[in-house]
Amino acid sequence: MKKILVVDDAAFMRKLIRETLISGGYTDIIEADDGASACEQYEAHHPDLVIMDITMPNVSGIEALHTIKEKDNDAKVIMCSAMGQESMVIEAIKIGALDFIVKPFKPDLLISAVEKIFEG
């Protein structure tokens, strides 16, 4: 069973991602509501995949991605972004994100991105 950490400051978005993952057969899901919490949850649980929003208060997704990759270069991360955040998406890919999903996303695209990472 693959463990997935879902990080977003919006509770409704975490719920939507969680429900989408569960419908795709992924049920071991941890949540965090900002980048700082994401780093703590990553350390505590060592998830197989992180799905993380780019724009969050306190510690951004970019900062959290940087911290997670420094501690575990093999960390698998998919970033979520709204339209118009292309420069941040490019920065995330340079830091080591494996993929990104544009919000609002189609559930099948999220599941396909997750499966691609686990199969790759």
This prediction has a pTM of: 0.95
Residue 5 has pLDDT above 90, yes or no: yes
Q: How far apart are CA 115 and CA 104, in angstroms?
A: 19
Q: What is the DSSP string of 21-45?
A: HHHTT--EEEEESSHHHHHHHHHHH
Q: What is the pLDDT of residues 43-97, one digit of tens each?
A: 999 999 999 999 999 999 999 999 999 999 999 999 998 877 788 889 999 999 9
If you average pLDDT over residues 27-48, what whole number do you get? Answer: 98
CATH number of the domain that residue 115 is part of = 3.40.50.2300
Task: Tally the C-alpha atoms within 13 A of residue 54's C-alpha that lie toward its C-beta.
Answer: 23
Q: Report the number of distinct structural domains present in the chain.
A: 1
Q: What is the pLDDT of residue 120?
A: 77
CB 75 within 8 A of CB 68: yes
For 76, the domain range is 3-119
Q: What is the pLDDT of residues 9-30, one digit of tens each?
A: 999 999 999 999 999 999 999 9
If you average pLDDT over residues 31-45, what whole number do you get? Answer: 98
